[in-house]
Amino acid sequence: MVFASLEFLLLFLPAFLLLYAVARPAWRNPVLLIGSWFFYAWLSPTFLLLHVVLTVISWFGGLAIDRIAEQSRARVRLLTSLIVLNVAVLCWYKYANIVVASITELMLPLGMLPPSWEKVALPAGLSFIVLQAISYMVDVHRRTVPVERSFIAYATYLSMFGHSIAGPIIRYSWISEELAHRGMNWQNFCLGARRFMIGMSMKVLVADTLSPLVGVAFALPEPSFVDAWIGCLAYSLQLFFDFAGYSAMAIGIGLMLGFHFPENFNRPYLARSIQDFWRRWHLSLSSWIRDYLYIPMGGNRGSEWLAYRNLFLTMAIAGLWHGGDSWNYLLWGAAHGVALCVARAWERAGMFTPPELLSHAMTLLFVALAWTLFRSADFATALNMYAGQFGLHAFALGDAMAATLRPAHAIGALLGVICVITPLYQQRCEARYGATRMFAVLGSLWPVLGFLLSFALIASRETVPFLYFQF
């Protein structure tokens, strides 16, 4: 069950919101927790069991850390053990398959029989849940947040179905007060519903419309220059609208329930440098790896060489976090690490600053080429796409891509973009021309129209999972 499905829109969400609305304030955390666990059980009962076990371990771990004296080595050892345990669970589900596959590739040329192996399925959202649990325990250790003594409140924080499947990555300190005291009012509910509808339009009308183009391009044996770049640019837009759409829907659900989650994207494709891109893309992850990886590793406090090392390792680890069905994610993270190091060295050397337009174009080019590596099923597929992008195959549009391109796809994507952009410019228009009833009506009309069109498409085809569910 995903947000963009009939089961969620017609069954789960209305029933849950009704129960949540009629529940007394003291019972809203238990209702949200039970609803979230039911949501996970619908996805997989096994995943729910794993999720509950991790919740219990991290809650008891936080209580134990809080009881030990701050300067005690036992406190650090306990925190380290809990982090290692969570990371080990994540690594097992993410990397067991690829490690076995890599070992098999080494054994076959030697005439050795490959090991018997049943593929391990990655539970949806495990990566986000582990990062949230680690951030909570580290913050308790640092005394930046008080330990949560209510298991219901902590489990609600870690389990909220609105965001924990694919982000944003919520820190306990951001919502601790709202976990204890929050209101549910009509204004926030309407704002949340509006954000949810905008996110649905981003996902269904734009991202899902571009999905066939991406699938065809990355499956071509020898993509032409045009094929490869259509596939690359389509994936760049698909990934953004899919992930940002989910984040908007998660923020919207949070508002409907009385929570205020932070924004997760800030127009990343308008970035003028690779540093600027990471200040705009997946903001909750960027801030997490800065505060819980880069700075604890030393950040830029030591020598220049250590700063470059920390920057590279941080991005490589972030790449590994994204997935385990291919080593491409590690290479993608390493590529961004190298790019950040080069940008840092360029600035510190006092080199000339390129014009804004050129800097923007170079940033987008690098990001798009890196997305090719990110999307490819394996390194051979990535090399094949790069060969097409650099003109080593034919140039013209191929038959397979031409057969996939349809006017209906362009119309659907255009309507989706209009439904997303129009509400964003409402405030600018109101600031310039004054708040009028026409702007208020249009600001509400476009999200509703986008949602209705999205609902019609959902009802007429199979559910398309969110891309970040695989991470």
Tell me the catalytic residues.
Answer: 322
Distance, C-alpha 48 to centroid of its chain = 20
Alpha-carbon gap, residue 223 to 397, rounded angstroms: 9
Amino acid at 113: L
Find out whether 256 and 196 touch, Cβ atoms under 8 Å.
yes
**Rg of the chain over CA atoms, in angstroms?**
23
CA dihedral of residues 278, 280, 284, 287 (deg, nearest 10): 50
Alpha-carbon gap, residue 124 to 352, rounded angstroms: 45
Alpha-carbon gap, residue 471 to 467, rounded angstroms: 8
Alpha-carbon gap, residue 106 to 50, rounded angstroms: 32
Alpha-carbon gap, residue 398 to 28, rounded angstroms: 55
Peptide bond before residue 212 is cis, with ω within 30 degrees of 0: no
Alpha-carbon gap, residue 139 to 65, rounded angstroms: 10
Alpha-carbon gap, residue 290 to 340, rounded angstroms: 13
Nearest Cα residue to 364 out of 280, 292, 431: 280
By CB atoms closer than 10 A (0-12, 13-18, 19+), residue 171 is: buried
Cα angle for residues 153, 157, 158 (degrees, 5° grid): 120
Nearest Cα residue to 196 out of 170, 158, 171, 163: 163
The separation between the first and the last C-alpha atoms of the chain, rounded to the nearest angstrom, is 17
**Which residues neighbour 46 within 8 Å (Cβ) at sequence distance 6 or greater?**
123
DSSP symbol at 410 = H
- Collapsing DSSP to helix, strand or coil, 223 comes out as coil
